[in-house]
Amino acid sequence: MRIEHIETYVAHNWTFVEVTTDTGIVGVGESTFFGFPEAAASIADAFGRSLLGTDPMRAEHHWLSAYRAKSMRGMAIMGAISAIDQALWDIRGKYFEAPVWQLLGGQVRDGVRAMPVLPTGTVEEVAEHATAAVRAGFSAIKVLLFQDEHHDLRYGARIDDLVRRARAVRDAVGWDVDIAIELHRNLSPGDSPLLINELASMRPYFVEDPCAPDSVMSFAEVASKVSVPMAAGERNTSIWEFREYLEHARVAFVRPDVGVAGGITHVRKICAIAEAHHAAIAPHAVPSGPVATASQVQLGACTPNWDAQEHRAQDGSPWSDVVENVARIEDGYFVIPDLPGLGISLDHEGLKNTPPLDKPPTAHLKADGTVALR
């Protein structure tokens, strides 16, 4: 079996890669480098040309060949590698007529716990969203606690409002629900510990990204001053970066994204490193598309320390427009598919009718015109 054709598609803010073999088997993968999807597509096209005529079963070899080529790094490159790698695992599963999780050691759980990300809004609206998620059967929820308007509040008022928001969510759902708190890189090592220590009484599942992912040392500074579980990793791309967060920054939950952290081949290794540190996996999955979500369900099915998978409903447009079927949720858990490969395929007609987003990335400006942290 040989790789005969590789095609890339950009729809919404997703990059999809399809790898076709000379036997007719087609594999699909996704890059989640959502800020610049065309960049990942261009790089995937370049890598694809070097893969023509090669054996698609050599996923590890192809991963290393792409990663070591030119000694370049970055999320666009890793997004391309990640998408191709998922597609190669999809091909492998279809060749052996088995789901990917079966090829990675078999199920360790009966369902993959989903953790919906609540919509933002007022304190009352967010609390209502939390209650609705629990009524829908979810046992874990994630709150985007810090919103853009918090940049325009003075320090004391900002901390007060953020704590009130977290308390309102906890009061709404009680103690039987895990609440993950996302600070989304909007604070600094100097001001985030005060907030996190005040949030401790709400017993958060974890607090994520209190500062920008520019420095493991800065994150470690925050972690050393707080007592709650900390999470990081959605903007990181390699086992070497994750190793440093685990060894030096006291991260209790690591958050790899299969669409930028090296696909199934590499995320599997990240999970193993985390397991060796008794750390859990809570993968990044928003605003991922449906193929990356399907890939992460495969990993969640067979990875012991995979704890809760971030989620935003994908059973409507544009997610359901670009694939034949989306990952299914029942009673708060992703259903583990038994179809060969990833269990998902592209809808080419839907792709034609789902244009790329025409929305250039912009930073938030504070009241004095300076660029806010993010």
pLDDT at 112: 98
In this predicted structure, the answer to whether residue 147 has a pLDDT above a threshold of 90 is no
Identical topology for domains 3-101 and 106-339: no
> pLDDT band at residue 360, thresholds of 50, 70 and 90?
confident
Q: What is the residue extent of each domain of the chain?
A: 3-101, 106-339
pLDDT at 292: 98
Q: Where are the beta strands (DSSP E) in the chain?
A: 3-11, 14-21, 26-31, 111-116, 140-144, 178-182, 206-208, 230-232, 253-254, 280-281, 309-311, 329-330, 333-335
pLDDT band at 75 (very low <50, low <70, confident <90, very high): very high
Q: What integer best gives the mean pLDDT of the chain?
A: 95
Task: Report the top-level CATH class of 3-101.
Answer: alpha beta
Q: Mean of the pLDDT values across residues 48-55?
A: 97
- What pLDDT score does 120 carry? 93
- The CA distance from 242 to 249, in Å, is 10
Give the mean model confidence (pLDDT) for residues 283-307. 96
6: tokens are 């590789």
Give the model confidence (pLDDT) of 103-137 as tens digits: 999 999 999 999 999 999 999 999 999 999 999 99
Q: Provide the pLDDT confidence category of residue 138 given band limits of 50, 70 and 90.
A: very high
Q: Are strands 111-116 and 140-144 parallel, antiparallel or unpaired?
A: unpaired
Average confidence (pLDDT) over 310-319: 93
If we measure between CA atoms, which residue out of 267, 298, 262 comes closest to residue 281? 267
pLDDT digits (tens, 9 = 90+) for 201-258: 999 999 999 998 889 999 999 999 999 999 999 999 999 999 999 999 989 999 999 9
Please report the pLDDT score of residue 149 as a whole number: 87
Positions marked active-site:
184, 284
* pTM, to two decimals: 0.96
Residue 365 has pLDDT above 90, yes or no: no
User: What's the fold here for domain 106-339?
Assistant: TIM Barrel (3.20.20)
Sign of the alpha-carbon torsion through 313, 317, 319, 320:
positive
Stretch 279-287: mean pLDDT: 93
Phi-psi domain of 11 (left: phi exceeds 0; alpha: psi -120 through 50; beta: other): beta
Residue 362 reports pLDDT greater than 90:
no
Contact between 76 and 40 under an 8 Å Cβ cutoff? The reply is: yes
DSSP result, 114-172: EEEBPPP--HHHHHHHHHHHHHTT-SEEEEE---GGGGGS-HHHHHHHHHHHHHHHHHH
- Contact partners, residue 94, CB within 8 Å, separation at least 6: 25, 26, 27, 340, 341
CA distance 103 to 338: 12
Interstrand relation of 14-21 and 3-11 (parallel, antiparallel or unpaired): antiparallel
Residue range 293-319: mean pLDDT, rounded: 96
Mean pLDDT over residues 27-42, rounded? 96
pLDDT of amino acid 212 = 87
* Residue among 80, 77, 95 at smallest CA distance from 16: 80
What is d(CA 26, CA 88) in angstroms, rounded to the nearest whole number?
9
